[in-house]
Amino acid sequence: GDSVTQMEGPVTLSEEAFLTINCTYTATGYPSLFWYVQYPGEGLQLLLKATKADDKGSNKGFEATYRKETTSFHLEKGSVQVSDSAVYFCALTRSNAGNNRKLIWGLGTSLAVNP
């Protein structure tokens, strides 16, 4: 079945460091891909999305490119801040899902940024 695999955390970085969180997927067809972020004590917020191959999603300095050839959607940020400390989730929805649009989630990667 469809699945999402994320790199295990926790990831600990110093402020202004470069961030990469790896995400790969298994899915039939061409899923839509998402990164969600969960700040401490808060809910799940959409960070960015990409709906077709070679699309790049971006938001708040974060980027991820939909790579069909490697079935990947790695999250990157050039210079992290303490305020980026959170848990990051990679997720997908199946293409042609009709009314069945459930999100399939990775395990989440905890990021801690130290000043």
Partner 1 sequence: EPEVTQTPSHQVTQMGQEVILRCVPISNHLYFYWYRQILGQKVEFLVSFYNNEISEKSEIFDDQFSVERPDGSNFTLKIRSTKLEDSAMYFCASSDVGGNQPQHFGDGTRLSIL
45 alpha-carbon distance from chain centroid: 11
Residue 29 found at the interface with partner 1 (CB under 8 A)? no
The site for partner 1, by CB under 8 A, has a size of 27
Residue 7 found at the interface with partner 1 (CB under 8 A)? no
* Strands 3-6 and 109-114, sheet pairing: unpaired
- Do 34 and 101 form a contact (C-beta atoms < 8 A)? no
- Do 38 and 108 form a contact (C-beta atoms < 8 A)? yes
Which region among 20-28, 58-66, 68-76, 102-110 touches partner 1 (by CB under 8 A)?
102-110
Residue 49 found at the interface with partner 1 (CB under 8 A)? yes
Q: Please state whether 105 falls in left (phi above 0), alpha (psi between -120 and 50) or beta.
A: beta
Q: How many residues belong to the chain?
A: 115
Q: How far is CA 22 from CA 70, 76, 81, 85, 110, in A?
A: 12, 9, 19, 17, 12
Q: Among residues 62, 106, 111, 113, which is the contact residue for partner 1, using CB under 8 A?
A: 106
Q: Among residues 34, 62, 73, 88, which is the contact residue for partner 1, using CB under 8 A?
A: 34
Q: Among residues 89, 92, 109, 111, which is the contact residue for partner 1, using CB under 8 A?
A: 89
Give the shortest CB-50-to-partner 1 separation in angstroms: 9
Binding site for partner 1 (CB under 8 A): 32, 34, 36, 42-46, 49, 51, 89, 91, 93, 95-108
